[in-house]
Chains A and B, each alone.
Chain A
């Protein structure tokens, strides 16, 4: 009995010891968890409750200059599959394939992958989201992302561009200003309860999101709309591959409209061919044709090699070396003033003027007007334009440059150059973004108007503009005239090499109350019978100009007098030879002549026209001093045929040509073919009958 009692006691002691030991172990474990290793377990517990997620930055808004939103960002749902939570992959894939733009195989492959979560379709529309929500498919969740929207659709699509699925700009300002627009994504860690809801007083940690900056453009959506509408109408009326229109405020270089056709809707840019995305006004070059004559005119007037009253002759063509360059008028324009050369867009006249300027002078003006290099408008893939290398430019190239052939320019370069003529000679940097709004914490980045350089004097610019007004009033640009407004402008037509394709253009200056607008219209690759700029681009310009003037509420003035009228006064060229350079110039200018001096010497040894020639007031008299290098200038021979001897003598004297005649009556033959350029000392024999 005693042994039995001892045994029970021992067993009790043993169990007690075991329980005590277990208790000690548990106590130690508790001590281990709660005290010794508490930090680690605390951290683990916290991690279980904390949910960390990325907060997407909101892309900046793009506004036009009236405050209208052209590009905004809105939240959109993305369909995400959680493969571990999907019960029946086949059924899920089948159900989703009927709703999403992804086929069954792709969905099945994705939702059976090892990934924890996988995107099925990003940034779906609200309707699809509602439908998917209603189906409540297990393992399918939605996350918020930001999606770009363009409320105006096609309007200004080439300027604004578009973004990709990752919200980065792919084209237009969306690409070139991506760094400003995109912002910086933030991170947020929130303590959540067992149901996944945020614990109200729980821990919240965040790296603050930096939303993108807003852009304020110079574009006026109404003018932009007018421009795009005119291009659409042009597409309907003419057989063209596309067109471009630029409307620029000449005073500050603000681009008020920049339109191209064909166009596209940036909301669904994938549905359009890539050629529609192309901003031809910036990315492409074209031969400017006669619109470039504005540059030739401005350069020649600035250099003083010509005045508007100088007489030039056009027998229908001009020879430069062995090459014959024809005028658009087969019969030529005969003897006429430079003002008329501009008005009638006479090619031989411009060739003669350009050759008078010499290569380095003319090339420096082409360069100064901004051709051959980017305008820095900050749109992607801007073209430089194509100018032949300086060393490769000969007399023929120089001649063809004068009427806008043999070189290619971008529409924005041409619009900027003509703006310089409109604003008094300042080449302005084209401005598309007025301001980058960086929010309340940072100051805004303001893109101030910038003068690149003063290319020509204000006087030359005004004179050029007056000549261009004559072109619209009663020259080649009459189709661009708007009653009650003094429109200046120039037509242009350039044929593609060896093809029946033409680029027609018109560039004009539209006066408004505060500034002058430069409006450039280009229609590309015109086929058919109607292809001249005066027939195609000029009417487009007129319609657009009328709409803009009406929109800007610029009242017409029917009482305006032309600012320029050709003087009928004739002057006899005096004898200047042997006078000092200073005396000669002073004497001629006092008498009402324009003077161009050649050489660096002091004494005048020759002049052109010679003394006694009867010329228009303000005509140019060329003076050659004793150190002149290029003494003999080449003069194009007029077509004397059919003229009386007296008239021939007068014209020859005026042009500085020597003639000898035989017979009487009218000229029936001449020893030098009309249009050939000869030295002033060469004698032309005339046969009269």
Chain B
């Protein structure tokens, strides 16, 4: 009975028929793999999407916080600028100069004129016009020659 039933079983389902078994299994496996990959891709996409959304959300919150801080810093900056303007007002400076530093106002003002246009006198060997004194001109030439060192000279 058992034999018969096994025979029937084997006969009906053709488990040992290698060609029939291989095609069916491969298709199923491929489908399963594709299905799993698809699921994985979808899952990853969803995870990525959620993660990015969360990141954007977080970044936006940070941005809002930074904007709030910027506003606060700007307000503080304005207050400090105002404070600086008040502290450096001329009336404050005069008050501190007079009351705290014991400074007094200058009564008389003296002007010293610096003249940078003074002509510097040049020294000539003989300050005599050329048209005069021929001897003096000859003397000047001699002196000039003696005083001049030539490039080719051994000295």
- A residues with CB within 8 A of B: 68-69, 72, 74-75, 126, 149, 151-155, 197-198, 200-201, 221-222, 225, 229, 484, 546, 550, 555-556
CB of A556 within 8 A of CB of B91, answer no
Q: Please measure, in the bound complex, the distance between the C-alpha atom of A197 and the C-alpha atom of B63, giving whole angstroms.
A: 13
CB of A154 within 8 A of CB of B91, answer yes
Q: How far is the CA of A69 from the CA of B88 in the complex (A)?
A: 12
Binary contact track B82-108/A, C-beta < 8 Å → 1, others 0:
100110011100100000000000000
Are A74 and B61 in contact (CB-based, < 8 A)?
no
Q: Mark B56-72 against chain A: 1 for CB-CB distance below 8 A, else 0.
A: 11011101100000000
Q: Are A225 and B90 also in contact (CB < 8 A) when A72-B82, A75-B75 are?
A: yes
Is B2 an interface residue, CB under 8 A from the partner? no
The docked-state distance in angstroms from the alpha carbon of A618 to that of B63 is 84
Pairwise interchain contact B90-A556, C-beta atoms closer than 8 A? no
> CA A69 – CA B81 in complex, angstroms?
10
Compute how far the CA of A155 lies from the CA of B86 in the bound complex, rounded to whole angstroms. Answer: 11
For residue B79, CB closer than 8 A to chain A, the reply is yes
A contact residues around B61 at 8 Å (CB)? 200
Residue contact B109 to A550, C-beta cutoff 8 Å: yes
Contact A152–B82 (Cβ < 8 Å): no
Q: A74-B75, A200-B63 are in contact. Are A222 and B82 (CB under 8 A)?
A: no
| Cβ B111 vs Cβ A72 within 8 A | no
B8: A residues at CB distance < 8 A: none
- 24 A–B contacts from the bound complex (CB under 8 Å): A72-B85, A74-B75, A74-B82, A75-B78, A126-B79, A149-B82, A151-B82, A151-B85, A151-B86, A152-B85, A152-B90, A152-B91, A153-B86, A153-B89, A153-B91, A154-B91, A155-B89, A197-B64, A200-B59, A200-B61, A200-B63, A221-B90, A225-B90, A550-B109
| Chain A proximity of B85: nearest CB distance (Å) | 3
| Chain B stretch 32-68: residues in CB contact (< 8 A) with chain A | 56-57, 59-61, 63-64
| Residues on the A chain within 8 Å of B79, using CB | 74, 126
Given contact pairs A151-B85, A153-B91, a sample of 16 additional A-B residue pairs in the complex whose CB atoms are under 8 Å apart: A72-B82, A72-B85, A74-B75, A74-B78, A74-B79, A74-B82, A149-B82, A152-B90, A154-B91, A155-B90, A155-B91, A200-B63, A222-B90, A484-B111, A550-B109, A555-B111
Partner of B56, one of A69, A75, A201: A201
Q: Indicate whether A151 sits within 8 Å of B89 (C-beta atoms), given known contacts A74-B78, A200-B63, A201-B56.
A: yes
Residues of B within 8 A of A149 (CB): 82
- Asked if B91 and A225 make an inter-chain contact with CB atoms under 8 angstroms apart, the answer reads yes
Contacts of A154 in B (CB 8 A): 91
Chain A residues contacting B81 (CB-CB under 8 Å) are 69, 72
Cα-based distance from A425 to B111 in the complex (angstroms)? 34
Please state if A198 and B64 are interface contacts (CB–CB under 8 Å).
yes
A221 contacts across to B, CB distance below 8 A: 90
Kindly list chain A residues whose C-beta atoms are within 8 Å of the C-beta of B57: 200-201
Contacts of B60 in A (CB 8 A): 200-201
Beta-carbon nearest neighbor of B57 in chain A:
A200
CA distance A222 to B111 in the complex (A): 22
Partner of A152, one of B64, B89, B111: B89
Closest residue of chain B to A558 (Cβ to Cβ) is: B111
The CA of A484 and the CA of B61, in the complex, are separated in Å by: 69
Q: Mark B106-139, 1 if CB is under 8 A from A, else 0.
A: 0001010000000000000000000000000000
Q: Which 7 A-B pairs have the closest CB atoms?
A: A200-B60, A151-B85, A225-B90, A152-B89, A151-B86, A74-B78, A75-B75
Q: How far is the CB of A450 from chain B (nearest CB, A)?
A: 31
Q: In the complex, A149 Cα to B85 Cα: how many Å?
A: 11
- Complexed CA–CA distance, A484 and B81 (Å): 41
In the complex, chain B residues whose CB is within 8 Å of the CB of A74: 75, 78-79, 82
- Asked whether, in the complex, the Cβ of B91 is within 8 Å of the Cβ of A200, the reply is no
Residue of A nearest to B62 (CB): A200
